[in-house]
Amino acid sequence: MVDEAPSKPALSALPRHATVIRQVFDGRDLSTLRALNLRFDRCSFRGADLRHATLDGCSFKLCDLRGADLRGASLRGVNWAGCDLRDADLRDTDLTDARFGFVNTGAPPHGLTDVTGARFDRAVLRDLKAEDVVGWNG
């Protein structure tokens, strides 16, 4: 995590299925970001503002989203694998066809997605899949 993370316009300009690796977006204003089908690997979004972002089809692997504000975001088909979403705000999000899962690290319970304290009030959870998720009450 040495280089400066891409700006919101640079993220929006990335082609579908591009991979963003080990970037830090902590506390950044990424509200209304439109980034489709991107792959985020070991990125940090702690406390980031992602309100009303459109992240449909994106994949997050081993990412830190603790305390991130995702209110009103479109997260259709998003895959969360081994991510830390503790205390994230997912109110009013669209999580249709999303998947909360894990990464096989070979050492359980490592690699599990953690949603402890995350808020899902009024979120659309149609066809959402949650497998081996810490803090899930669904």
Reduced to 3 states (helix: H, G, I; strand: E, B; else coil), residue 4 is: coil
The pLDDT of residue 14: 96
Is pTM, for the whole model, over 0.85?
Answer: yes
109: phi then psi, degrees, rounded to nearest 5: -95, 15
- pLDDT value, residue 5: 87
pLDDT at residue number 23: 97
- pLDDT of res. 138: 61
> CATH topology for 1-131?
Pectate Lyase C-like (2.160.20)
Place of tokens 């980031």: 48
15: cis peptide before it, omega within 30°?
Answer: no
DSSP 99: E
Question: Tens digit of pLDDT per residue, the chain (138 long)?
Answer: 446 789 999 999 999 999 999 999 999 999 999 999 999 999 999 999 999 999 999 999 999 999 999 999 999 999 999 999 999 999 999 999 999 999 988 777 779 999 999 999 999 999 999 988 999 876
Give the pLDDT of residue 106. 78
Q: Give CA angle at 119 (80, 115), nearest 5°.
A: 40
Cβ atoms within 10 Å, residue 113: 27
